[in-house]
Amino acid sequence: MKRFIIIVFIVFCGLFAKTVAADEPNLITAISDVAKKTGPAVVSIKTERVNHYQRPSSYFGSPYSDDSFNQFFEEFFGIRPEYEQKMLGLGSGVIIDARGYILTNDHVVRGADKITVTLPDGRKFDAELTGIDIHSDLAVIKITPQASPGTSASTLPVANLGNSENLNIGQWVVAIGNPFGNILDDPQPTVTSGVISALHRALPQTSRRDSDYSDLIQTDAAINPGNSGGPLVDLNGDVIGINVAIFSTSGGYQGVGFAIPVNYAKAIVEQLIQGKTIDYGWIGVSIQDIDQRLAQYFNLTTTEGVLVTKVLEGAPAEKAGIKDGDIILTVNKIKVRSTSALVKQISNATIGKPITLQIVRDKKNLNISVTVAKRDSSGNEIAKPAPATTTKSPLPKHWRGLTVVEITQDMAAKLGLANTNGVLIADVAQGSPAQLSGLQKGDVIIAINKRDIRNLQDYNQNVQLATGSSLVRTVRGFFVIEP
């Protein structure tokens, strides 16, 4: 009997091994097929930018030189001579049109004086920039292809742009680019594989860039510096994203990369080819995501939707009747799951056309039509947390862990506030309900349970009336503070 069991176990292991062996080549073959299909359309991009500098006075080099000598020299001979410094950049791109149009990242080609494109077959072309969009970090450059002998047909391979709407977490993907091609003098692109590890990822904005990375594909397929602008493709070889960023503490690959969904690119690529400026929609609201506390306070069954923290004066939202504290659930019957999703939907809406917002106000569902306007630099501000400050004013008694102070004219000026309305949080007790709610030192409270707070007297009166969960509105947004 034991011998029979051992034989059966060995047979089972053999069948399992054959199954695994049969499955593994399929994936390997699929990735290889993707490389053969899409790889020829992935190019290396080398950029050159020349910066001009004036040589310092010490450049004139005399051991007897001093400031007065340098001044005399400059006044007599004119300004100091300039020198040039050549800056080189590397990136990737994908050919999307047989006429020679290549899709890449804006940050790969921005500011370049010269752009050189190298195809995997070794051909090199000078490229010209046809269109850029800083907001999406996308750009289109163009090379002039040569026709095949005796024909007018282009000899350029072209990648197929797929569909990024129906992607799944765990889906196999392949990243193609040429991060080291120009350094290694090898035009063949690099192929890495992995899965989609997350969808709708947002990267925090920094002062160093104007791009909005609010709806990205996250993948563990290795993406390295120089891969920027290259395609992320599915196992059919269709482009589903444009590689744009890595999350790294060392500057190299650490398992997390990001790509711009290709549908976002398809929506603007024709305008980029024509050299047009890309306009984005705007309705003039500051918004925040809804957490579990806010959902419970507003009697919502889910945390989907976004909370309007501020309606800008004179903006389309104000004209349409949107109010502070409204909860936006859908845009044209499409669910709004987060602030990034709403920003995307409004940005891509047709300027000058109305959209219908389904909102919740005072536990009632309303449909409001808002005409989308063109976004500009003055209309894209999101309310930011007020900076922390110190004060010698007397501190009143704590309420749920909060210590607040009156706002003086001097404090309002330092905080960038239009007036002295509200109270400033001077301290938040560790482990208190206030800290658990997310309130911070430096926040300015302007309402409690929808009652305005103009000064310390209003604050003291309202906290005495507050029972149960309380909705605290600050300049930064809304918070629910438990008793």
What would the pLDDT profile of 38-88 be if each residue is shown by its tens digit?
999 999 999 988 776 555 544 444 444 455 545 554 555 555 556 566 778
C-alpha to C-alpha distance for 326 and 285, rounded to whole angstroms: 11
Q: Domain end: 379, 411, 429, which one? A: 379
CATH number at residue 195: 2.40.10.120
Q: Is the dihedral of CA 334, 340, 346, 348 positive or negative?
A: negative
Residue 34 lies in a domain: yes
CB 243 within 8 A of CB 231: yes
Q: Are residues 266 and 287 in the same domain?
A: no
Residue 73 lies in a domain: no
Q: Are residues 100 and 187 in the same domain?
A: yes
pLDDT of residue 190: 87
Residue 457 lies in a domain: yes
CB 310 within 8 A of CB 300: no
CB 194 within 8 A of CB 222: yes
Q: Are residues 103 and 187 in the same domain?
A: yes
For residue 101, CA distances in Å to 27, 132, 398 come to: 31, 13, 64
CB 354 within 8 A of CB 409: no
Q: Could you confirm whether 228 is annotated as catalytic?
A: yes
Backbone angles phi and psi of 88, in degrees to 5: -110, 145
Q: What is the distance, to the nearest Å, from the Cα of residue 377 to the centroid of all Cα atoms in its chain?
A: 17
Q: Which range has the worst mean pLDDT, 29-43, 173-187, 258-272, 304-318?
A: 173-187
Q: What is the distance, to the nearest Å, from the Cα of residue 36 to the centroid of all Cα atoms in its chain?
A: 31
State mean pLDDT over 399-418.
82
CB atoms within 10 A of CB 3: 7
pTM value? 0.67
pLDDT of residue 65: 47
* Percentage, residues of the chain above pLDDT 70: 77
pLDDT of residue 249: 53
Q: Domain end: 244, 260, 278, which one? A: 278
Q: Could you confirm whether 62 is annotated as catalytic?
A: no
Q: Are residues 345 and 257 in the same domain?
A: no
Q: Which of 92, 136, 211, 228 is catalytic?
A: 228
Say which residue, 50 or 263, is predicted with more confidence: 263
C-alpha to C-alpha distance for 55 and 60, rounded to whole angstroms: 9
C-alpha to C-alpha distance for 247 and 203, rounded to whole angstroms: 9
pLDDT of residue 154: 66
pLDDT of residue 378: 44
pLDDT of residue 7: 39
State mean pLDDT over 156-176.
94
Say which residue, 75 or 107, is predicted with more confidence: 107
**Cβ-count burial of 57 within 10 angstroms (0-12 exposed, 13-18 middle, 19+ buried)?**
middle
194: pLDDT strictly greater than 80: yes
3-state secondary structure the chain: CHHHHHHHHHHHHHHHHHHHHHHHHHHHHHHHHHHHHHHHHEEEEEEEEEEEEECCHHHHCCCCCCHHHHHHHHHHHCCCCEEEEEEEEEEEEEEEECCCEEEECHHHHCCCCEEEEECCCCCEEEEEEEEEECCCCEEEEECCCCECCCCCCECCCCCCECCCCCCCCCCEEEEEECCCHHHHCCCCCEEEEEEEEEEEECCCCCCCCCCCCCCEEEECCCCCCCCCCCEEECCCCCEEEEEEEECCCCCCCCCCEEEEEHHHHHCCHHHHHCCCCCCCEECCEEEEECCHHHHHHCCCCCCCCEEEEEECCCCHHHHHCCCCCCEEEEECCEECCCHHHHHHHHHCCCCCCEEEEEEEECCEEEEEEEECEECCHHHCCCCCCCCCCCCCCCCCCCECCEEEEECCHHHHHHHCCCCCCCEEEEEECCCCHHHHHCCCCCCEEEEECCEECCCHHHHHHHHHHCCCCEEEEECCCEEEECC
Q: Which of 106, 107, 193, 234 is catalytic?
A: 107
Q: Which of 106, 137, 220, 238 is catalytic?
A: 137
What's the mean pLDDT when you consider all of the chain?
A: 79
Q: Which range has the worst mean pLDDT, 95-99, 238-242, 296-300?
A: 296-300
C-alpha to C-alpha distance for 453 and 135, rounded to whole angstroms: 37
Residue with tokens 């899709």: 103
What's the token pair of residue 292?
A: 């579990």
Residue 5 lies in a domain: no
Residue 455 lies in a domain: yes
Q: Are residues 324 and 252 in the same domain?
A: no
Residue 310 lies in a domain: yes
C-alpha to C-alpha distance for 423 and 449, rounded to whole angstroms: 15
Q: Domain end: 347, 379, 411, which one? A: 379
CATH number at residue 333: 2.30.42.10
Say which residue, 325 or 159, is predicted with more confidence: 159
Q: Are residues 222 and 346 in the same domain?
A: no
Q: Is the dihedral of CA 76, 77, 78, 82 positive or negative?
A: negative
State mean pLDDT over 77-101.
78
State mean pLDDT over 296-309.
87
* 74 dihedral zone (left: phi>0; alpha: psi -120 to 50; beta): alpha
C-alpha to C-alpha distance for 256 and 218, rounded to whole angstroms: 7
pLDDT of residue 61: 47
Q: Could you confirm whether 107 is annotated as catalytic?
A: yes
222: pLDDT strictly greater than 60: yes
C-alpha to C-alpha distance for 448 and 450, rounded to whole angstroms: 5
Q: Are residues 263 and 286 in the same domain?
A: no
Q: How far apart are the first and last CA of the chain?
A: 69
C-alpha to C-alpha distance for 296 and 92, rounded to whole angstroms: 47
Say which residue, 381 or 35, is predicted with more confidence: 35
390: pLDDT strictly greater than 50: no
Most confident of 33-42, 335-344, 403-412, 470-479: 33-42
Say which residue, 116 or 383, is predicted with more confidence: 116
Q: Are residues 260 and 188 in the same domain?
A: yes
Q: Are residues 119 and 257 in the same domain?
A: yes
Residue 194, domain extent: 27-49+87-147+156-278
Q: Are residues 406 and 267 in the same domain?
A: no
State mean pLDDT over 338-346.
85
Q: Are residues 240 and 358 in the same domain?
A: no
Beta-bridge partner residues of 48: 88, 114
pLDDT of residue 401: 82
Q: Are residues 274 and 290 in the same domain?
A: no
Q: What is the distance, to the nearest Å, from the Cα of residue 290 to the centroid of all Cα atoms in its chain?
A: 20
Q: Which range has the worst mean pLDDT, 125-129, 251-255, 368-372?
A: 251-255
Give the chain's domain count. Answer: 3
What's the token pair of residue 400?
A: 């749920």
Question: Residue type at 96?
Answer: I
Q: Which range has the worst mean pLDDT, 234-243, 266-275, 352-361, 424-433?
A: 424-433
Residue 388 lies in a domain: no
Residue 389 lies in a domain: no
